[in-house]
Structure 1
């Protein structure tokens, strides 16, 4: 189906609806993303949208402008054009004879972002939202910056989008696919440098950040997050500021009916219940659901690829009715607790610390989640509590308030709150970081004055965790966090003069039993070549470097419905010398291929990042082939001045 925008651009849509919707109209549910409905998200679409449609909805999956089978060009994330298109699609849906005029919007990640941003714009037909793995603040809580620190994923995501959005439409759907593809390739942006130039919370990041005015979000919101993802803070932010309820489970960056680690839940049943209440007006009590339903993790041995996490579902008000705070001083001798006092503890950690921290948004079981933190703890400055006599349950966000000084103008602190078992293994409960230039303001940062003590307030991520008796809490502090955070230009020493850690202790709450996972029949496909994945750390004894290597070959798969054969492979290498922040280097390569019969296309996207004391350098190449003939090639080489990173 084509949906024509007011400027004539045709967006490609796939629609599932009841057979009798033409005579008995139904509400519409929109998912609107750039990830290619024809092949990219098709496996998950087939499980979700027919299931919801069978329960009385028209489910509409739209490729954004410039993506998949839609016309137009993609310029950036969350542009005014993208959001205006969303409003126009919603108006078009509401006007169709098979629609009652009520529209809901849902999505994960990009789709979770833009459904909140669309709600902010208040299109009249939009009645409710389900937002999964999203953010309310594009500067504070996305893949570009965290606490003002430049994230390694800023380059990684630029490479992903260079690869994802440079593929053509399917010739079976677009006779003009070739000319459209060449236009798409020629206009393709390499966004990493653009994002990195905005090192303050300026107008660029405020656009699309609904926290600028929460009151504009007037529709009910169901917010979903996962402890293994890095978007969990959105759940509490929405519950505290809009008409929202939240569910946070143990999951990675996936929908919770298919996500690992388990337990997965019946997300689709929860979604239908939500739509029934707000799109059909059925009095099912969804408006009275607990503000927060959270899976509180139990102490378990560290595992970067857990299929299941032990824990307990609890439901509570937010903030919790029976929550309390526990404040522990950072005391001399590396003690967490005690009398506190002056520390004067220098922190100057090796540049390769952080190799076991995992991905910003893990997608599955390829050792993408945090592993044993003991090796990184050994390189950090640690403050350890006493072994616990009884379980300690935490639900909320921890905060470190401290007095610090730095010997360099640019520096950051990374914090990891860990569960240390009697055998010394260490599980990351939550982490947080702060670019010290942002200590007073993310909009107007200021370099540190070397040697001058200043107060800082560092929030860690939302957590739900129960420590077992005999275990102890550890706060690990570092000035490096590679490759999660791009290193400061100098190996700064930050001195901790004093500090206190405040923990969100949770008692009470009610048990909650989610429904089991359900879904429609999976897509019809055949695996032509099995995939393979690897994740390893290499130490070069001659060069003195340490590298994290990530490889993920998805194999080759044939869609048995329309015959498209797809393949995708990625390789990353993150390298640094322990004694030299300017040795940091990352190279990323993506390969995509599509074929059917005698038709075949392939794209290769490469990205590289290095840095000097004054600048960041970001390079990229994009090459495209039709059959064996190269049809496009372009390179980027951009320098970004380091003002605050």
Structure 2
């Protein structure tokens, strides 16, 4: 990324500012202002997240918010209540209190002498989620939103459930948030009150994995935070952005189809990152693109951005399977509306032995998958690191019921969500099916293109699950994740079906035999024809941003992935270990401006045993250390999940140290009934 040091406006940084709320709570803000904004007010851009503005996101924030300020915006980065240097205790994701506070923050910003009264809101992940949810509350000063890697549906596309199946990410993310929310504010900001604030967070902190595990269906808890419940609540313009390697991208076409306010969608090849840091590449000049959006909606400048196609995506080319990609070859394409009338459906029949243009005789094909199938899946949500991407699918394909096409006679491009229609039976009252669409190369290697899953007790509704009747025949439709992909001529399509997907998904209570009726099911592909207009799209600029903060890496970042197989018992143990400093690719480091050392380690361990889903076990150990001179704090959490046929067994431990002294230790043991999951 090109570093910009000279801007149209000099920038003044306010390292810390209190935003007072009506109930007496104060939220901590860091502000970047263009010089002279107090005399000549400017619009403001708010990012409002719990990831600690002063330390953990400092290296990410400065290049972005400094850039906006240099181009005539007040950039305001606020810690959510109970996080970073803000007062209070973090109670949950997108808690009602958080959203109410967000409205107050917007009013406060709009009333400042340096602000014109026009406010935009942006964010990635948590910040993309709450930007959409606050937009649905229609604060008067909020004029536009950029939501990156956010979601409109907290049940369908969030870190907890997928297709009604429990994600192991629910435990992982819950453990990370437990650690983050237990960190203290900085004594240099809050003074001697830091320890009392820390103790309040430690003693009142929430065991987040438990909260989410108690809501296994799409109930009122998830509906409250899902703007898809009523898209019409959002009246301001929305720019929804994501990447094909991210886990939240399904929301973008849904937002384009559901919103009635001005809207745009952009999907690159990226993982869970802002596009100017996009991996896999190519990264783009996202900050310039965002500035075109803000100039249009906050300053009234016609930048031409709303004259361009509303949905633009990276059409990925065929690539051999790898566990990470520096760049995904492809090209930008666009549709003038979404859903697009240009997309047509091509149907492949599921026949015994393969995918066909016409249906063959109906044949019952029973299948049971091994407990450890899914080790080639990569991460549920990729950050772009080594091992994050799905690798060669051959091992997982070998344990799946597969249907291959004949070699393609010509190039085939798809855009949208493929759908698998199945006629099936199962032999247990609770079961799920996973479908993976892959591209098979002439050498036999297999690249996963997209995938999806469905808890079959949710076959009619995620709100009202119904047990399965063993042996009864059901008709189900299983949508896969949205994707843009070009299959190469001479390659084959492969649809692979399985009844397990470990460790992405928690297994069903009992081993499941699925019987698919070949000749009665089919695969639907959303085929996109070429468009001459694609060659005339406005090119994105190269990435650029303001300078990074100065920091010294104390030691390199480390990561490892190991798979151990016990040949005597068949047990498979998959372990992922990382050490970093919260600075992207950097290891533990010292931030010079605030003289603070930051270190973070995580270890995840997943165990499974053949034909015994009740032997599944997930463990997460997470630890963050902050150190300045003689002041040092360390928060460590350990969580685990096992299950019986009727219950989930969830355990957790939190320990907080000041120097070498144990400040507090907490433990949780929870037994939570399983409801068809």
- Shorter-chain TM range is over 0.9
1:105 is the counterpart of 2:137: no
What's 1:371 paired with?
A: 391
* Aligned Cα root-mean-square deviation (Å): 1.0
Per-residue deviation, 1:478: 0.3
Report matched runs for 1:340-379 at 5 Å.
340-379=360-399
- Does structure 1 residue 405 correspond to structure 2 residue 425? yes
The 8 Å contact of residues 320 and 506 in structure 1, kept in 2 or not, is answered as no
Match of 1:429 among 445, 449, 464: 449
Aligned partner of 1:591 in structure 2 is 623
Contact residue 52 and residue 84 of structure 2 kept, 8 A = yes
Which sits farther off after the overlay, 123-132 or 505-514? 505-514
251, 254, 260: which one pairs with 1:237?
254
Instruction: Give yes or no for the alignment of 1:63 onto 2:79.
Output: yes
- Structure 1 stretches of 4+ with a deviation exceeding 4 A read none
Deviations 1:166-216 (A, max 9, x none): 111111101111110011011111111221111111100001100110001
Are 1:506 and 2:528 matched, yes or no? yes
Query: Quick check: 470-479 or 314-323, which moved more?
Result: 314-323
- Matching of residue 386 in structure 1 with residue 406 in structure 2: yes
1:638–1:337 CA distance, 2 compared to 1 (3 A): farther
Distance in structure 2 (CA, Å) of the matches to 1:340 and 1:629? 71
Match of 2:272 among 235, 247, 253: 253
* Conserved 8 A contact 1:392-1:467: yes
Q: Deviations along 1:511-552, whole A, 9 cap, x unmatched?
A: 332211111111110111222111122212233211211111
CA distance in 1: counterparts of 2:182 and 2:307, whole angstroms: 45
Alignment partner of 1:623 is 2:640: no
Q: 2:202 aligns with which of 177, 185, 191?
A: 185
1:533 alignment partner, SS class: strand
Partner of 1:529: 555
Distance 1:338 1:607 in 2: 50
Aligned to 1:566: 598
Q: Return 312-321 or 572-581, whichever deviates more.
A: 312-321
Give yes or no for the alignment of 1:173 onto 2:189. Answer: yes
8 A contact 1:268–1:518 mirrored in 2: yes
User: Quick one: distance in 1 between partners of 2:360 and 2:666?
Assistant: 57
Q: Please state how far the C-alpha of 1:164 moved relative to its aligned partner.
A: 1.3
Q: Distance in 2 between matches of 1:288 and 1:504?
A: 26
TM-score w.r.t. length of structure 1: 0.99
CA distance in 1, matches of 2:475, 2:263: 34
For 1:214, which of 206, 231, 239 is the aligned residue? 231
Tell me the distance in 2 between the aligned counterparts of 1:230 and 1:381.
25
1:339 Cα offset (Å): 2.0
Q: CA deviation at 1:440?
A: 0.6
Residue pair 1:322, 1:508 contacting (<8 A) in 2 also: no
The answer to whether the 8 Å contact 1:47/1:520 transfers is yes
- The answer to whether 1:93 aligns with 2:109 is yes
Counterparts of 1:25-36 in structure 2 under 5 Å?
25-36=41-52
Give the CA deviation at 1:109.
0.4
User: In the TM superposition, what whole-angstrom CA distance separates every residue of 1:377-420 from its partner, at most 9, and x where no partner exists?
Assistant: 01100000110111100111101112111111100000100011
Match of 2:4 in 1: none
Q: Distance in 2 between matches of 1:423 and 1:438?
A: 38
Residue 271 (structure 1) aligns with:
290
Q: Which residue of 1 aligns with 2:321?
A: 302
- How many residues matched? 645
For the residues of structure 2 that align with 1:89 and 1:289, how far apart are their CA atoms?
Answer: 32
Deviation per CA, 1:147-166: give whole Å up to 9, x if none: 11111111111111111111
Contact 1:587 1:608 survives alignment (8 Å):
yes
Pairing 1:546–2:572 present? yes
In 2: Cα distance, 1:337 partner to 1:343 partner: 17
Mapped to 2, the partners of 1:337 and 1:399 lie a distance apart of: 16
Q: 1: distance between equivalents of 2:440 and 2:420? A: 19
2:611 is the counterpart of 1:579? yes
Per-residue displacement from partner, 1:581-623 (whole Å, max 9, x unpaired)?
1110011101110011111011111010101111111101000
* Distance (whole Å) between structure 2 residues aligned to residue 158 and residue 397 of structure 1: 29
Per-residue deviation, residues 424-470 of structure 1 (Å, max 9, x unmatched): 11111100000001111111110111111111111000000001111
TM-score for the superposition, normalised by structure 2: 0.94
Whole-angstrom distance in 1 between the partners of 2:149 and 2:47: 14
| Correspondence list, 1:55-204, <5 A | 55-175=71-191, 176-204=193-221
Gaps of 5+ in 2: 1-16, 581-586
List runs of 5+ in structure 1 lacking aligned partners: none
Indicate how the Cα distance of structure 1 residues 336 and 627 shifts in structure 2: closer, same or farther if over 3 A, else same. Answer: farther
